[in-house]
Chains A and B, each alone.
Chain A
Amino acid sequence: MQKAFLVDSSICLGCNTCAMACKNQYHQDNGIAWRKVREIGGETYREDQNNFLPTVTWYAKAPQAQMPEERYYFSLACNHCENPACVEVCPAGAQTKDPITGIVKHDQELCIGCKGCVLACPFGASKYNERLGKSEKCSMCWERQDEGLLPACVQSCPTGSIALIDIHDPAYANAGTTDPLGIDYAIGSSTKPSTRFVHPSLPAKMHRL
């Protein structure tokens, strides 16, 4: 099993409910958000406000989509990769991949704050918390899932544009793509990010003055 987020940008309103629902559940410190809603189109999403895109790979390619700014979005958090780089580099065993669900968990008790995961993640999903001197990241609300609840972001999305799927389940084999339109997402990353995307589209007809 590899649990994953299916992000459907065709019905994403950019309302940021998912990102705030995550704050509501975890009370992340100011300046740290495990989930962020990024705009597609223009250059703005590349001016990263949260060190979300720390590696050179991110800046290598220009955005592909010509979408009006502030109208098309992707909601992004940890990709819970199939071969997570963070797990590989963590010397303290604080980052682990759950063998059953595929969720990449972070144990703050064990974290020694070496920033290895922050540097290793091609997606900037691990955040370094200066105040705690430790890392942290999206847990896919595994504690909630253990109780039969959906992750806070999924449950809170007003249109169902974030869903929880198992990419190894044949039923989801064709669910979305690994390529988030307009964002160079390190598609070829050897970590094999699990997140799947449905691309947005402009209205069939647009009549401008």
Chain B
Amino acid sequence: MSTHPSPVDALLREGVSRRNFLKGLLASGAVASFPGGALAAEPYVDTKIPFTGKKSYTTFRNACPRNCYDTCSIKTFVKDGVIQFIEGAKESTFTNGGTCVKGNSYVRRVYSPDRIKYPMMQVGGKGSGTWKRISWDEAMDTIAKKLLAIKKEDGHLLGAALTKYSGNFGITHYGVEGMFSSIGYTTRFAGTPCWPAGIDAQNLDMGAMWCNDPEEMKDSKYIILWGANPAANSVHSMKYIFEAKKKGAKVVVIDPVFTEAASKASEWIQVKVGSDGLLALGMAKIIIDANMHDKEWLAKNTKGYKEFKAYLDTINLRDVAETSGLSLELISQIALEFAKADPATIWSGYGLQRHTNGGSMIRAIDALVAITGNIGKYAGGSRYGHLDTWGFNYHAMSMEKPAGSVGYVGGKRMGEFGHGAAGEEKPDYDDRYLNINKTAREILNSDPKVRLLWVACKNTFAQDFDRNLLIEAFKSLEMVVVVDEFFNETTKWADIVLPVTTQFEEYDVNVSYWHYWLSINEQAIKPLHEAKNDLEIAALLSKKLNALEKGSCTFPEYVDTKQWTAKEFNAGIYEKFGISSWEELKNGPVKAKPVIPYADGKFFTPSGKYEFYSETSKEYGWKALPEYVEVRKPYDKFRLTTPHSRFSLHSQFQNLDWMEEFNAEPFVYINTKDATDKRVETGDIVAVFSKVGLLRVKAKVTDNVPSGTVMMYEQWFNNNIYNVNELVDDTSSDMGAFKTGAPGVALHDAYVNFRKI
């Protein structure tokens, strides 16, 4: 790979609005306080790149690692050491030569003038906006000294906490967890804000979260997209749905919102929020009453069907109709059509389980699919997600604790800190786990106190809840280190920010929780500016810690992402994907050998069967059966629903100028009736307020959302204070503690009011 400095430098200086902005800053003498560091104002450079023929590019294999169903396989075209453009890898039938709108903006992301370029320290204190460029050595020295001071003063490192989630799902990025293990017993924010209630539900029913290959949907005869909107959030799945539809399959979308997917369905059914579980149970009852259930499959493969049937007998279908807002005729029609079709499948979206009764709703839908015998069947299945192709070594996180480390007392004394009373056996230590979905509260109430927080692969302020309490929590911390590509609201409340590489600047490996393809990330370009990858950062910290105090960190002091990527592979992965070496992935992504989940009737539950009746569920304090549970009671006038936008992946991508070109600003979507009541018209600025916060945002009046609900996409815009989590409290969903360590968040059970301003 040849590196030609001038085009890179030229690209880095690009940005006309930036230039003007900087000129203004120079005039005011305020450049030193600008987070990206003092950049000289440079003339705008033309980056328009004519296509110069396939042969003139060096190509690399990459993958999008950003928490998305599609996890696109990418082919990267590089010239003179600069990424010119990307394409989807054609080898993957799923990606099929394309990425999504976000993927197509990657060049701009990598070469964004807004990228964090150097380690920076907020010298004026958190939130001051007064930054100073520091060296990597200085950054590591400051952090290492703080860690050692915490250990010395507290006698342990539980005051050091890590919060990391889905900004980069590449396997080697688990090295961040490895780094925290390598310094001793520390505090980890556990759980996931995304899908825990559904994970638990599927694990209770089937002993795993495991879904059929989405590419099979082309052969499904009946597809229910239940609270799932692949037309915005898994665009590559839509071609299979369209193919099925073309072949005569019926595609039903059940969703309170007229989503992009609903607009392309055969039939759209608007349902009252939170009633989906009851609707599924009502459908199951209708199917059984019509004697259309798969008796043979049920007898052979399930546990507790009799109890489930007895429970269904107590359900009054008139209640189902009233609660869901649908007519009995419609419910019967959909239920019987679904039962008749073979194969039929349901895809449950993640929004469905972001309710106080979310896990129970997924269990009810699983049960509906199960009674029709569509589980274990080609092109059938209750689809939610899978981790079937994630069997890597996780070498990056397998670090031992330094000798003599002290931590939480394990086992039954979990939650109680100490060395154990005199005379007791020497306790086994553990890391401390705090609930990631109550980050603010957990930081403020922690004992021993969280003193240092490390944020990686995560924009806490865009993803966690009750933003105003988060500010208080972050201010209470002695040191906040944020590793990111961009300055955002989380870096605003940081003391030190460290620039991290994109996937084009490091080696890594990626799989999906939806499709069955495996891709690698090759290092296509040299890291820009002073950016380092998460593994290198861990190694640097290790080197510094050991220099200051020998033996204080077990993380290797040198890493090569290529070698570390290779270390993640094992015989099981090779067998599953039919390759003999990871190097084969340089020729393109490969797909796992086809398997139909549960086709052999073997479930991973305690009974080995599909469990309508789950003892485990009972142990966790939930209902043993997939019973109907009422949703959270409203505490304000309007339900707030905060789905994902097609223009962003959580807080990523929307901050790029290219994305702003197509989606310039945020909106609150208000139903026509509610807007009329409140005298709001499209374009008006409204104040949306809840018990936790207030946001001013432009209104769009639309029939796409139901009356009584307002919709605001979860996004982070650059230079815009919009943050929907200003309005969302941290109330938990029912499930999540079983498999992910903490319950999820009932994101869509937040309530607000609004008025025109």
Which A residues form the contact surface with B (CB < 8 A)?
10-11, 13-17, 19-21, 23-31, 33, 36-37, 49, 68-72, 131-132, 141, 143-144, 147, 149-150, 152, 155-160, 200, 202-209
Contacts and interface: CB of A to CB of B under 8 A. Distances in A.
A7 to B, nearest CB: 15
A203 B47 contact: no
B757 interface: no
Interface string B105-137: 111100000000000000000000000000000
Given A17-B101, A31-B661, A68 B258 contact: yes
Contact of B263 (A27, A72, A147, A207): A72
Given A13-B238, A15-B232, A20-B102, 10 more contacts: A16-B647, A21-B104, A131-B46, A149-B54, A158-B100, A158-B235, A158-B238, A159-B238, A203-B262, A203-B266
A71 B51 contact: no
B269 A156 contact: no
Contact of B260 (A71, A150, A152, A157): A71
Interface string B637-661: 0000000001100000000011101
B59 interface: no
Contacts of A27: 47-49, 107
Given A71-B258, A159-B238, A159-B242, A147 B54 contact: yes
Interface stretch (B84-92, B380-388, B603-611): B84-92
Given A27-B107, A156-B98, A204-B267, A15 B702 contact: no
Interface string B202-239: 00000000000000000000000000000110011011
Nearest to A11: B242
A8 to B, nearest CB: 10
Interface of B: 16-17, 44, 46-54, 85-88, 96-102, 104-108, 231-232, 235-236, 238-239, 242, 253, 256, 258, 260, 262-272, 325-326, 330, 646-647, 657-659, 661-664, 700, 702-704, 706-707
B703 A68 contact: yes
A111 to B, nearest CB: 13
A48 to B, nearest CB: 13
Contacts of A14: 231, 260, 646
A68 B263 contact: yes
Nearest to B327: A207
Given A21-B104, A143-B50, A143-B51, A209 B325 contact: yes
Contacts of B661: 23, 30-31, 33
A206 B262 CA distance: 9
Contacts of B239: 158-160
Contact of A157 (B98, B232, B704): B98
B48 A17 contact: no
A23 B702 contact: no
A80 B235 CA distance: 28
B97 A70 contact: no
Contacts of A147: 53-54
B260 A209 contact: no
B22 to A, nearest CB: 16
A170 B258 CA distance: 39
B662 A207 contact: no
Contacts of B54: 147, 149
A58 B270 CA distance: 36
Contacts of B258: 68, 71, 206
B646 A16 contact: yes
A152 B88 CA distance: 10
Nearest to B97: A155
Contact of B265 (A28, A143, A159, A203): A203
Nearest to B259: A71
A69 B104 CA distance: 25
A116 to B, nearest CB: 21
A156 B48 contact: no
A209 B270 CA distance: 6
Nearest to A28: B48
A204 B85 CA distance: 40
A69 B702 contact: yes
A126 to B, nearest CB: 15
A23 B238 contact: no
B87 A155 contact: yes
A70 B259 CA distance: 9
Contact of A131 (B44, B104, B269, B703): B44
A107 B329 CA distance: 63
B241 to A, nearest CB: 9
A207 B268 contact: yes
A23 B262 CA distance: 29
A16 B51 contact: no
A120 to B, nearest CB: 23
Contacts of B46: 131-132
B154 to A, nearest CB: 49
A187 to B, nearest CB: 25
Contact of B235 (A15, A21, A132, A149): A15
Contacts of B267: 203-207
A209 B703 contact: no
16 contacts: A10-B264, A11-B238, A14-B646, A15-B646, A17-B99, A24-B85, A24-B104, A69-B700, A147-B54, A152-B87, A156-B104, A158-B96, A158-B238, A200-B263, A203-B253, A203-B266
Nearest to A20: B104
Nearest to A10: B264
Contacts of A206: 258, 267-268, 270
B178 to A, nearest CB: 34
A111 B663 CA distance: 31
A33 B662 contact: yes
A204 B337 CA distance: 16
B598 to A, nearest CB: 29
Contacts of B235: 13, 15, 17, 158-159
B175 to A, nearest CB: 30
B260 A26 contact: no
A92 to B, nearest CB: 19
Of listed A31, A143, A157, A158, residue having the most chain B CB within 10 A: A158
List of 8 A-B pairs having minimum Cβ-Cβ separation, nearest first: A20-B104, A71-B263, A158-B235, A156-B98, A143-B51, A24-B104, A27-B47, A13-B231
A15 B703 CA distance: 20
Contacts of B657: 30
A26 B263 contact: no
A209 B662 CA distance: 32
Of listed A10, A141, A149, A159, residue having the most chain B CB within 10 A: A159
Given A16-B647, A37-B662, A147-B54, A158 B49 contact: no
Nearest to B667: A70
Contacts of A208: 270, 703, 706
Contacts of A15: 100-101, 231-232, 235, 260, 646
A201 to B, nearest CB: 9
Contacts of A30: 16-17, 657-658, 661
Contacts of A20: 101-102, 104-105, 658-659, 662
A147 B55 CA distance: 10
Given A131-B16, A147-B53, A158-B238, A17 B100 contact: yes
B676 to A, nearest CB: 16
Contacts of B647: 16
Given A15-B232, A21-B104, A131-B16, A158 B98 contact: yes
A160 to B, nearest CB: 7
A204 B266 contact: yes
A141 B49 CA distance: 12
Contacts of B96: 158
Contact of B88 (A19, A36, A156, A204): A156
A155 B88 CA distance: 9
B48 A26 contact: yes
A20 B108 CA distance: 11
A11 B325 contact: no
A101 B517 CA distance: 37
A66 B667 CA distance: 22
A68 B47 contact: no
